[in-house]
Structure 1
Amino acid sequence: MNIEELCRLIDKKAPDLVQSLSKLVKQPSISAKGVGLVECASLVREMMEEAGIKSEFIDIEGAPPFVFGEVKSKRHDAKTIIFYNHYDVQPPDPVELWSSDPFAAEIREGKMFGRGVSDNKADIISRINLVKAFLELGDLPCNVKFIVEGEEEIGSPHLPVLAERNAERLRADACIWESGGLDEKERPEITLGMKGILYVELRSQVATRDAHSSLGAAVANPAWRLVWALSKIKGEDEKILIPGWYEDVKELTDEELKALEEMPLEEELIKADLGVKEFLPGISGMKLKRALVGSPTATICGFQSGYTGPGSKTVLPSTALAKIDFRLVPDQKPEKLLKALESHLAFHGFGDIEVCVLAKEEAGRTRLDEEIVHCAAEAAKQTYGRDAIIKLSSAGSGPMYLFTKRLKTPSICIGCTHAFERAHAPDENLRLDIFIQGTKWVARTLSLFGKQNQR
């Protein structure tokens, strides 16, 4: 099969891809609120079947449906690629900051706007349709599997169970992960890993109801207790204060450090996009790269207590709550760190603060010398006419470790998104030209992998 013929077919089918993406974005699927998940899973499965991909639901108790799809090459010696994606999305809040309805899939200035359009519904549509294009022209260069879950945005709590029960079904020679695309200067990026995460909610409660603030002279304030507890977790120098937190951090190899040095990072463009004047003190250049890729973090994501509406209300709150995410790097274990956090709080007199785990997963990373990395790099050069940027890891998290560590499947992120997509934020968007180009990039990667990796 001529890959250029396939790319021409993708160009011809571009309006169909955009229409399918619009349909999927218009279906809300908010895992944090349990909204629309079954309906969205059914829509993904329907689209797979229409493309010629045999699909089914895999049910795990307590989880929305996993969508498993598979289509085999006619070649008896073909290797296997598995696509990992998720159909769930973040809540659209604050809705009032959107320029259009988050689930209207409005197109303007060459972009589609909507919650989940870039994270991660564009990749779902892209990958289903590139398989469809291969089949229309005769055959696939390799066997293809899909696993699409509905809980990625809340930490994939049931994916480990799925992987344990269905290890053989999920086994493949390589995995193409969700996300990936172009950086701030429109250079193709190949990301080799994801950080892990320990996401907790800290709760302080001192009374059964709120009271008049004059009683603050006699009754403990849970908000202050929580503030004091938080001050024991992280210092003003940005270092995590919990004993043993850094002891399992895996050091970067010389090869990884070289790749990190060669990786460009557009600091000024990133600051401009975020609307910040500076990064943290002393964080720039190689230090910034190492922080994003290889350093654990602790981030307060939210704090709630008392009255925060307009005007004043003199109240002594009965409860206080903080949400914190700890980003983890290879070899850190969330279970071990959770125990360390609880012990640390108790040691400092905050054993009464309840620690509730909302998400936990290890970091995952693929080696630089894996063949799927080389195929994706060559495919990027063919598609965009320029060398790809190799990123050791995303600064974000995902359950990639289940594939890289447990299933021993090298995994990379490539796709059809871009650096200014505003994922998780108001006005999340997708550039439609990159959507189509990214689809061709992944198709070329499959073609090269199939040619070079015969059994």
Structure 2
Amino acid sequence: MGSGLDNIFDREQERFVAEWMEFLRFASIGADPAHHADCADCATWLKDHLTAMGLQAEMLETPGLPAVYAEHHVGPSAPTILFYGHYDVQPVDPVEDWTTPPFEPALRDGRLYARGAQDDKGQLFSFLKAVEALLAAGCLDLNLKILIEGEEESGSRGLSAILNTSHERLAADILMVADTGTVPDGTPTIVMGLRGLLHLAVTLRGPSHDLHSGLHGGLALNPVTELTRLLATLFAPDGSIAVDEFYDGIRNPTALEHALVQKTPFDPAAYEKSVGMPPVAGEAEYTPHERLGFRPALDINGIRGGNADSMKTVIPTTATARLTVRLAAGQDPDHCLAAICDHLKAHAPEAMALTIHDAGSAGAGFRIDPESAPVQLAHDVLAELANCEPVYHWEGASIPIIPALAEAAGAAPLLVGFGHEDDHVHAPNESYSVEQFRRGFEYAVHFLRTAPQADLTRN
């Protein structure tokens, strides 16, 4: 690396890991009000840590949990990078399935186990350590802005509310995000797009009170039965979504995107071994990667009604289902939500009351131009570090704030992360290896050192 950066990770690894563990001890569960004080403490710790690194850092108050903002300014002629991450983490239930307590980080066999070890504390902290190393060596020759929020896992409500008044503060050439992963074999991966997300709950109300199924079965409609029938109308036999106007606006992949996605490895047998079933859902005429990256998906996340825990012969009063939709690039979230609601209303049984509630959109889907200058630079850096060709991957998951944040900053998003399916994010025993942390650190160091010489405004 030169300039005093050679072998710096090896020299500083013990300290890096100790500070990473300190960061992980904050129970910053943003979705749980009982932990909002922990979130505030975590944000304060981050601000102080960024200040100690040599950055100008401050708290950004929002209608929700605070965000942390820091910057390093070189001058108007230098490129500007905005880095985004989040300090909030998922809840830890079922806590009894953790081998060690989720907020008492444990290093085992080269992996650090804790909630947030990967998502996103581990990934963002490896970036921060890269920035620290470059600052110490006097090698950070670009304008850097760092934005770390506390509500990504629950919809980014607070950050979303302040974006419209933050254009000048956040203005950048590139929006760097380290909250993604690699393909299963670990090949360095540039995520070229994410799907959008909308959500809703559906309730059918039938009898005024629970009924004896012997006295009323065959006469009174059962809300659970009718809800399952209603939900089934959303899906066609060929795996497509049977909602009028649902597919409006979808951007088909370009010839280049189609060619690149075919190069992304996918092993159906390995997938089946990993998740316990083959990859047979969705529209059969599309490959698995096309279904994840370029097509939408509608899923029923849960159904509640009656009693499934024991024998109780009743016709219940209500049944409720919760649904999420992953939106392809080009789909308008409001239009899709309206189409689904219209479909449910048209197919609901007349003898029952239908209520659609907790409905809304967390953001649209997006795709990134594979030929843009930031993507090409990331490709070259990853190829040099790994001595192999990186993979371009269109991912099916969502980081809903990214499109709005990129628009507010006027920046091209760039998503490179080093997570892996073995990290068990959002599940018990989440972990992130020291080697993954190292890879993220080395990528960030090389990218930030190379970026000042690149024409990052070329799209």
Q: TM-score, normalised by structure 2?
A: 0.90
Asked if the contact 1:303–1:321 (Cα under 8 Å) also holds between the matched residues in 2, the reply is: yes
Look up the equivalent residue of 1:8 and give its one-letter code.
Answer: N
- Measure the CA separation in 2 of the matches of 1:347 and 1:373: 45
1:20-419 equivalent positions in 2, closer than 5 A: 20-34=19-33, 35=35, 36-61=38-63, 63-73=64-74, 77-206=77-206, 210=210, 212-214=212-214, 216-217=216-217, 219-276=220-277, 278-280=278-280, 287-309=287-309, 311-349=310-348, 352-357=354-359, 359-391=361-393, 393-398=394-399, 399-405=401-407, 407-419=409-421
Look up the equivalent residue of 1:320 and give its one-letter code.
Answer: A
Change (3 A) 1:367 1:320: same
- Measure the CA separation in 2 of the matches of 1:164 and 1:228: 43
Change (3 A) 1:279 1:161: same
Asked if the contact 1:10–1:133 (Cα under 8 Å) also holds between the matched residues in 2, the reply is: no
Q: 1:9 is matched with which residue? A: 8
Asked if the contact 1:193–1:412 (Cα under 8 Å) also holds between the matched residues in 2, the reply is: no
Change (3 A) 1:454 1:371: closer
**Number of matched pairs:** 449
Q: Which moved more, 1:445-454 or 1:399-408?
A: 399-408
Look up the equivalent residue of 2:402 and give its one-letter code.
Answer: M
Change (3 A) 1:448 1:238: same
Asked if the contact 1:273–1:420 (Cα under 8 Å) also holds between the matched residues in 2, the reply is: no
Look up the equivalent residue of 2:201 and give its one-letter code.
Answer: E
Q: Which moved more, 1:128-137 or 1:395-404?
A: 395-404
* CA offsets 1:137-168 (integer angstroms, 9 cap, x no match): 11412111111122211222343322211012
Helix, strand or coil: the match of 2:85?
strand
- Measure the CA separation in 1 of the matches of 2:118 and 2:285: 28
Q: CA deviation at 1:381?
A: 2.1
Q: CA deviation at 1:405?
A: 4.5
Q: TM-score, normalised by structure 1?
A: 0.91
Asked if the contact 1:84–1:148 (Cα under 8 Å) also holds between the matched residues in 2, the reply is: yes
* CA offsets 1:250-269 (integer angstroms, 9 cap, x no match): 11111111111222224333
Look up the equivalent residue of 1:400 and give its one-letter code.
Answer: I
- Measure the CA separation in 2 of the matches of 1:318 and 1:282: 33
- Measure the CA separation in 2 of the matches of 1:366 and 1:7: 33
Asked if the contact 1:304–1:321 (Cα under 8 Å) also holds between the matched residues in 2, the reply is: yes
Q: 1:421 is matched with which residue? A: 423
Q: CA deviation at 1:344?
A: 1.0
* CA offsets 1:58-98 (integer angstroms, 9 cap, x no match): 2222x11121111123x552111111111122222222333
1:436-447 equivalent positions in 2, closer than 5 A: 436-447=438-449
Q: CA deviation at 1:54?
A: 1.7
Q: Which moved more, 1:138-147 or 1:278-287?
A: 278-287
- Measure the CA separation in 1 of the matches of 2:40 and 2:121: 15
The two structures, once aligned, show a CA RMSD in angstroms of 2.4
* CA offsets 1:406-437 (integer angstroms, 9 cap, x no match): 54411121133224212122222111111112
Change (3 A) 1:267 1:161: same
Asked if the contact 2:166–2:408 (Cα under 8 Å) also holds between the matched residues in 1, the reply is: no
Q: CA deviation at 1:340?
A: 1.1
- Measure the CA separation in 1 of the matches of 2:284 and 2:266: 10
- Measure the CA separation in 2 of the matches of 1:250 and 1:112: 40
Asked if the contact 1:78–1:454 (Cα under 8 Å) also holds between the matched residues in 2, the reply is: no
Helix, strand or coil: the match of 1:203?
strand
Change (3 A) 1:257 1:212: same
- Measure the CA separation in 2 of the matches of 1:396 and 1:153: 13
Aligned residues with identical type, % of pairs: 25
Q: CA deviation at 1:359?
A: 4.4
Asked if the contact 2:196–2:398 (Cα under 8 Å) also holds between the matched residues in 1, the reply is: yes
Asked if the contact 2:328–2:365 (Cα under 8 Å) also holds between the matched residues in 1, the reply is: yes
Helix, strand or coil: the match of 2:176?
strand
Helix, strand or coil: the match of 1:102?
coil
Q: Which moved more, 1:346-355 or 1:118-127?
A: 346-355
Asked if the contact 2:200–2:356 (Cα under 8 Å) also holds between the matched residues in 1, the reply is: no
Change (3 A) 1:183 1:209: same
Q: CA deviation at 1:315?
A: 3.9
Change (3 A) 1:17 1:315: farther
Helix, strand or coil: the match of 1:298?
strand
Q: CA deviation at 1:106?
A: 1.6
Q: Which moved more, 1:343-352 or 1:167-176?
A: 343-352
- Measure the CA separation in 1 of the matches of 2:164 and 2:282: 43
- Measure the CA separation in 1 of the matches of 2:92 and 2:142: 37
Change (3 A) 1:205 1:60: farther
Asked if the contact 1:24–1:40 (Cα under 8 Å) also holds between the matched residues in 2, the reply is: yes
* CA offsets 1:288-313 (integer angstroms, 9 cap, x no match): 1110110100111122222233x433
In structure 1, the gaps of 5 or more residues are: none
Helix, strand or coil: the match of 2:369?
coil
Q: Which moved more, 1:95-104 or 1:334-343?
A: 95-104
Q: CA deviation at 1:5?
A: 3.6
* CA offsets 1:304-349 (integer angstroms, 9 cap, x no match): 222233x433344333222211000111111111111111111113
- Measure the CA separation in 1 of the matches of 2:140 and 2:347: 60
Asked if the contact 2:116–2:430 (Cα under 8 Å) also holds between the matched residues in 1, the reply is: yes
Change (3 A) 1:141 1:271: farther
Helix, strand or coil: the match of 1:122?
helix
